[in-house]
């Protein structure tokens, strides 16, 4: 099949990693996959459009011209701001339209979504949040872990015991809660906060953790990170 993946974010996160690995996997299976996004996009786009907002007519016409010229079988969008652009671009074209919803936050209804052939969600909770869209077809397809990249490497606990947080540094991910929990645990524990986030929030978090054994290494090598920590924390609120 010829597949167009659409992902406009500039910052690398879980959803963008999903698009990159999905693209690699589909190509290994013999599919012809093209990625569309913004210049410098995190999902490594090979075709670039402005994606200035969810009403960007220039991007709609650009995507539509690409779909008509290249005869894609499927166009697959992954971010809410991209959904209406893709649905509008695919009007009256013989291409299957698929949307994946990666977040639990609700998606606003839009008449353009009548054009969507199917919705994908990684969990049943996220899928249930799409019911108001009255999807023609929907399915839960869980995210994956590449076991070749993350081999099991047991090690003795570090001293102090090292706790790890991995991902976008954002308030709803529970970073403040992790720092406060560390304050209660005492000197036998330390915390490594890996990833990046909005600068003002990261600065405030660093100030809150100023007198605690907390480090902020930024982006990390994942196998090395997992070998550095003893416990992975996932304190997200949702």
In angstroms, the first-to-last Cα distance of the chain is 35
pLDDT of the residue at 29? 97
Rounded percentage of the chain residues whose pLDDT exceeds 70: 100
| pLDDT digit string, tens, across residues 69-120 | 999 999 999 999 999 999 999 999 999 999 999 998 889 999 999 999 999 9
Q: What is the pLDDT of residues 41-56, one digit of tens each?
A: 999 999 999 999 999 9
Give every CB contact of residue 214 below 8 A, 6+ residues apart in sequence: 179, 182, 190, 191, 192, 193, 206
Q: Does domain 161-233 have CATH number 3.20.20.110?
A: no
Segment 17-41 mean pLDDT: 97
Residue 238 pLDDT > 80, yes or no? no
Q: Please indicate whether the domains covering 2-140 and 161-233 agree at the CATH topology level.
A: yes
In angstroms, what CA-CA distances link 177 with 31, 47, 163, 194, 209?
Answer: 44, 40, 13, 15, 11
What pTM value is reported for the model?
Answer: 0.84
pLDDT at 158: 95
The answer to whether residue 13 scores a pLDDT higher than 90 is no
The whole-number pLDDT of residue 209 equals 96
pLDDT above 90 for 147 = no
What pLDDT is recorded for position 72?
Answer: 98
User: Average model confidence (pLDDT) for the chain?
Assistant: 95
**Residue 104 has what pLDDT?**
87
Domain boundaries along the sequence of the chain: 2-140, 161-233
Q: What is the DSSP string of the chain?
A: -EEEEE---SS--HHHHHHHHHHHHHHHTT-EEEEEE-TT-TT--SEE----STT-HHHHHHHHHHHHHHT-SEEEE-STTTHHHHHHHTTTSS-EEEEE--SSSPPPP-GGGGG--EEEESSHHHHHTTGGG--SSEEE------TTTS-----PPPSSEEEEEES-B-GGGTHHHHHHHHHHH-TTEEEEEES-B-HHHHHHHHHHTTTSSEEEEES--HHHHHHH-SEEE-----
> Which pLDDT band holds residue 211 (cuts at 50, 70, 90)?
very high
CATH of domain 2-140: 3.40.50.2000
The pLDDT value given to residue 14:
87
Instruction: Give the tens place of pLDDT for each residue, 166-188.
Output: 988 998 899 999 999 999 998 99
């Amino acid at each position: 099949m010829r597949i167009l993946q659409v992902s406009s974010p500039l910052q690398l996160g879980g959803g963008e990693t999903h698009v990159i690995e999905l693209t690699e996997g589909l190509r290994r299976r013999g599919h012809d996959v093209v990625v569309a996004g913004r210049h410098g996009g995190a999902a490594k786009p090979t075709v670039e459009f402005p994606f200035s907002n969810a009403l960007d007519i220039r991007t709609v016409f650009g995507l539509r011209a690409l779909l008509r010229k290249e005869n894609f079988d499927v166009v697959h969008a992954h971010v809410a701001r991209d959904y209406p652009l893709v649905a509008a671009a695919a009007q009256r074209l013989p291409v299957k339209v698929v949307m994946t919803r990666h977040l639990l936050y609700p998606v606003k209804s839009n008449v353009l979504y009548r054009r969507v052939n199917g919705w994908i969600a990684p969990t049943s909770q996220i899928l249930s949040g799409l019911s108001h869209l009255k999807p023609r077809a929907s399915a839960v397809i869980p995210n994956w872990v590449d076991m070749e990249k993350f081999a099991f490497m047991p090690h003795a606990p570090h001293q102090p015991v090292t706790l790890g947080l991995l991902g976008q540094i954002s308030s709803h991910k529970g970073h403040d809660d992790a720092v406060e929990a560390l304050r209660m645990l005492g000197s036998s524990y330390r915390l490594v906060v890996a990833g990046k986030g909005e600068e003002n929030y990261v600065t405030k978090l660093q100030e809150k953790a100023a007198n605690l054994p907390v480090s902020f290494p930024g982006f990390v090598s994942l196998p090395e990170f997992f070998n550095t920590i003893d416990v992975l924390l996932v304190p997200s609120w949702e």
